[in-house]
Amino acid sequence: MYELIQTGEQSYYIDCPSKIGVYDSDGQNVFLIDSGNDKDAGKRAYRIIKDNNWRLWGILNTHSHADHIGGNRYLQNQTGCTVFAPGMESAFTRFPILEPSLLYGGYPCKDLRHKFLLAQESNALDFMNPNLQDPRFPHELEVIPLPGHCFDMVGYRTPDGTVFLADCISSAATLEKYAVSFIYDVGAYLDTLDRVEQLEASMFVPAHAEASQNVRPLVKLNRDKVHEIAGHILTLCKEPTSFEKILQGIFRRYHLVMTFEQHALVGSTIRSYLSWLKEQDAVTVIFDDNMLLWKCK
């Protein structure tokens, strides 16, 4: 764990629960692609940087989930490096309370205010805003839009052909264990999978799956899982059904264990599925006795 693995002439990743990319821009200055899940991950990454006689020039966040920005603050405090984040992800990085608030749909109680869902804030620049351009951003990198998992998630392609894919695909083991991967926008996520399936690269580095030269089989596995879950939701909606009953049915189907955290994460995802299915004209809503019920068409 936390081993530095080279994938190209200028590209590396630190093997940890949420892989941290390393881009060596000139033999001396490096950029991290994400910073791990907490301060300890930041410390380990910084130790690797110093051991290789590099200087941390900046952090390129793919998105704002806590396991990808958790080391930002420590590294920024230690080095003064610039943190770059895309679009809305920069706001969530500066104000991380937005993340558990979004998941819960209101003020998050203490059960949801922990490092897994609530990172420490860091000063992030929105590199997608033309009014906030910073010369320190490595413009030789290709920014690849990967929306769906969250608002404005991106991947990065380095000059040697390594593509860092963030959270757009999960490993087979993760899908087997957790089944329901977090998705904010199901339609956008499926479009992203189609885009990733057509990408060419010397090496793909997903954050939560093994690095590989071919991710097409894993893309298909993730796409199939989305359609499988959607099918189960439609089955649960044969009769008018409340959201909580649908959520209970999904937890039972995949043998998941309900906790406050899982209720927020999986619950938010199932709401996104329901929104997508409604926009696909596959389900409708019925208001009965002051309850919102879902019914497949």
pLDDT confidence of residue 193: 98
Closest CA to 62 of 105, 133, 124: 124
Q: What are the pLDDT digits (tens) for 139-195?
A: 999 999 999 999 999 999 999 999 999 999 999 999 999 999 999 999 999 999 999
Instruction: Give me the half-sphere count of Cα atoms (radius 13 Å) on the Cβ side of residue 276.
Output: 23
Identify the residue whose tokens are 């949420």.
Answer: 18
CATH number for region 3-225: 3.60.15.10
CB 112 within 8 A of CB 96: no
pLDDT confidence of residue 176: 95
pLDDT confidence of residue 204: 98
The three-state secondary structure class of 284 is strand
Are 3-225 and 229-296 in the same CATH fold? no
Q: Which residues of the chain register pLDDT less than 50?
A: none
- Please report, for the chain, the start and end positions of each structural domain, with discontinuous segments joined by +: 3-225, 229-296
pLDDT confidence of residue 85: 98
CA distance 268 to 186: 12
CATH class belonging to 229-296: mainly alpha
CA distance 131 to 133: 6
Kindly list the strands in the beta sheet with 154-157, ordered across the sheet, starting from the edge strand earlier in the chain: 142-145, 154-157, 162-170, 203-208
Provide the angle, in degrees to the nearest 10, between the axes of the packed helices 216-236 and 260-279: 90
Q: Residue 259: left (phi > 0), alpha (psi -120 to 50), or beta?
A: beta
